[in-house]
């Protein structure tokens, strides 16, 4: 069945026309699409003439393919998505949004090649605007983009469905996508991509494990609006806000926490030990022996969070990877003091690394985020590092003027 939407393509196109010219959303547009349009506009992507970046040679692309564990899952993708000669192309990106492979229907491949959807091109949102693989990377969630929902108008003839692919530690390896005509806008197409992405993750996990071991390490996703999911023994558990807070705090304190310490970290107001013990008891029903029976409370196995991937990239000096892994603030709806400290620390570390990088490609990705949208220092750095007279620099100057006007005399 088609994706549920109450708006016609012409209405979405009209809403985009208004948004491009005024910055205001008029009409009904899906929230996911509207948020992506805002990021695309802030990034300065030209909706009439997008320019997905192609900055690798054939040899460089071959090296990237050899380096990624996704190579080993290609037979799975071909069998599940391409063996029946469907009316689409299947694509696999790396974590930066670069298209490593584009295969499938020859006619569709020629058509999408005409808009720059080719092997080696980068289709992250800051390069190509709203599109399923780029938006899946930006949100770390499965995404379907239908026709006129694309930011780039030359892409309006196509629909796409994509899902991120993670390794056993929860790190994003890339995105699996199918792109084609109206058939890709169906619910069945999204289900097929979702199932194939799961098979890819299982294949990558089997091949990258060199020796027999126990179940994969538990992973906790806490970044962005989709934060609050625990993957335990291959099963994803959507957690309540309170349970996500407790697991994050215990992951941050591997030596364990007493009930009183948990209470202080969870709330500024007085929270009784009885309340904490009751909440931990409910959490244990979800996670089982992962949470110790004895006190102080501690995790019986190391739990890896998506924050760890950001920290590791920063430690290695790979700011682009850190920004790519940082899909939003830590548990943004939480008001827990302990979570707020983690949230502020991670955000500050990423921002500082971005500003210190002096790399316009990195800075523009930060500026396109909700946190970076009103970051005066980031826009000033982008203006200083962008090519003189480029669309990116002009966009940065315009944003600086808007911020100066909003902030008043400095």
268 inside domain: yes
How far apart are alpha carbons 351 and 187 in whole angstroms? 38
Regarding whether 382 and 282 lie in a shared domain, the answer is no
Higher pLDDT, 291 or 155: 155
How far apart are alpha carbons 335 and 330 in whole angstroms? 11
Regarding whether 200 and 130 lie in a shared domain, the answer is yes
Say whether pLDDT at 104 is over 90: yes
How far apart are alpha carbons 26 and 16 in whole angstroms? 8
Residue 285 CB burial class (10 angstroms; 0-12, 13-18, ≥19): exposed
Regarding whether 187 and 60 lie in a shared domain, the answer is yes
Regarding whether 268 and 192 lie in a shared domain, the answer is no
Say whether pLDDT at 212 is over 50: no
Percent of the chain with pLDDT over 90: 45
Regarding whether 376 and 257 lie in a shared domain, the answer is no
Regarding whether 161 and 29 lie in a shared domain, the answer is yes
pLDDT value of position 145: 96
CA-to-CA dists, residue 218 to 211, 254, 293, 335, 339, angstroms: 18, 14, 18, 25, 20
225 inside domain: no
310 inside domain: no
CATH number at residue 253: 1.10.10
The H or E element containing residue 86 is none
Regarding whether 76 and 36 lie in a shared domain, the answer is yes
The answer to whether the beta carbons of residues 148 and 156 sit under 8 Å apart is yes
Beta strands in 11-116 (DSSP E): 53-54, 88-93, 99-104
Tens digits of residue pLDDT in 140-176: 889 999 999 999 999 999 999 999 999 887 788 999 9
- Among 301, 316, 336, which residue terminates a domain? 301
Regarding whether 102 and 28 lie in a shared domain, the answer is yes
- The total of other beta-carbon atoms located within 10 Å of residue 65's CB is 16
Regarding whether 139 and 200 lie in a shared domain, the answer is yes
Bridge partners for 121 per DSSP:
54
Say whether pLDDT at 98 is over 80: yes
pLDDT value of position 211: 41
- Among 190, 209, 228, which residue terminates a domain? 209
- Mean of all residue pLDDT scores within the chain: 87
pLDDT value of position 410: 54
CATH number at residue 95: 3.30.450.40
Beta strands in 105-186 (DSSP E): 121-122, 143-146, 159-166, 172-180
Using 50, 70 and 90 to split pLDDT, how confident is the model at 78? very high
Give the residue numbers spanning the domain of 129.
Answer: 10-209
Say whether pLDDT at 340 is over 70: yes
Say whether pLDDT at 2 is over 90: no
Regarding whether 73 and 123 lie in a shared domain, the answer is yes
322 inside domain: no
Regarding whether 242 and 204 lie in a shared domain, the answer is no
What is the distance, to the nearest Å, from the Cα of residue 200 to the centroid of all Cα atoms in its chain? 18
320 inside domain: no
The number of folded domains in the chain is 3
Say whether pLDDT at 214 is over 80: no
Regarding whether 142 and 18 lie in a shared domain, the answer is yes
């Amino acid at each position: 069945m088609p994706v549920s939407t109450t708006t016609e393509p012409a209405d979405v196109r009209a809403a985009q026309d208004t948004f491009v010219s005024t910055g205001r959303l008029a009409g009904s547009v899906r929230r996911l699409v509207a948020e992506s349009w805002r990021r695309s506009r802030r990034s300065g992507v030209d909706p009439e003439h997008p320019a997905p970046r192609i900055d690798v040679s054939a040899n460089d692309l071959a090296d990237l393919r050899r380096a990624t564990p996704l190579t080993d899952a290609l037979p799975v993708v071909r069998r599940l998505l391409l063996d029946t000669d469907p009316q689409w192309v299947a694509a696999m990106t790396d974590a930066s949004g670069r298209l490593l492979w584009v295969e499938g229907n020859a006619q569709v491949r020629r058509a999408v090649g005409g808009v720059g959807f080719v092997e080696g091109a980068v289709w992250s949102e800051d390069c190509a605007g709203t599109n399923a693989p780029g938006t899946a990377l930006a949100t770390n969630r499965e995404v379907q983009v239908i026709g006129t929902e694309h930011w780039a108008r030359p892409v309006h003839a196509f629909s796409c469905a994509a899902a991120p692919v993670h390794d056993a530690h929860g790190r994003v390896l890339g995105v699996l996508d199918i792109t084609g005509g109206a058939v890709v806008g169906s619910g069945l197409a999204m289900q097929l991509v979702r199932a194939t992405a799961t098979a890819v993750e299982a294949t990558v996990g089997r091949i990258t494990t060199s020796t027999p071991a126990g179940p994969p390490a538990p992973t906790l996703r806490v970044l962005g609006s989709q934060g609050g999911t625990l993957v335990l023994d291959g099963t994803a558990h959507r957690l309540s806000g309170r349970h996500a807070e407790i697991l994050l705090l215990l992951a941050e304190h591997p030596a364990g926490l007493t009930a009183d310490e948990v209470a202080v970290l969870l709330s500024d107001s007085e929270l009784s030990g009885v309340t904490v013990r009751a909440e931990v008891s409910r959490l244990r029903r979800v996670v089982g022996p992962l949470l110790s029976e004895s006190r102080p409370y501690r995790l019986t196995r190391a739990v890896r969070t998506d924050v760890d991937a950001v920290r590791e990239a920063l430690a290695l000096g790979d700011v682009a990877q850190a920004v790519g892994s940082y899909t939003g603030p830590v548990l943004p709806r939480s008001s827990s003091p302990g979570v707020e400290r983690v949230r502020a620390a991670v955000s500050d570390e990423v921002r500082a690394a971005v500003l210190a990088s002096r790399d316009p490609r990195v800075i523009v990705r930060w500026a396109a985020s909700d946190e970076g949208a009103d970051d005066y220092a980031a826009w000033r750095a982008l203006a200083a590092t962008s090519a003189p007279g480029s669309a990116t620099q002009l966009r940065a100057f315009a944003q600086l003027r808007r911020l100066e006007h909003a902030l008043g005399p400095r």
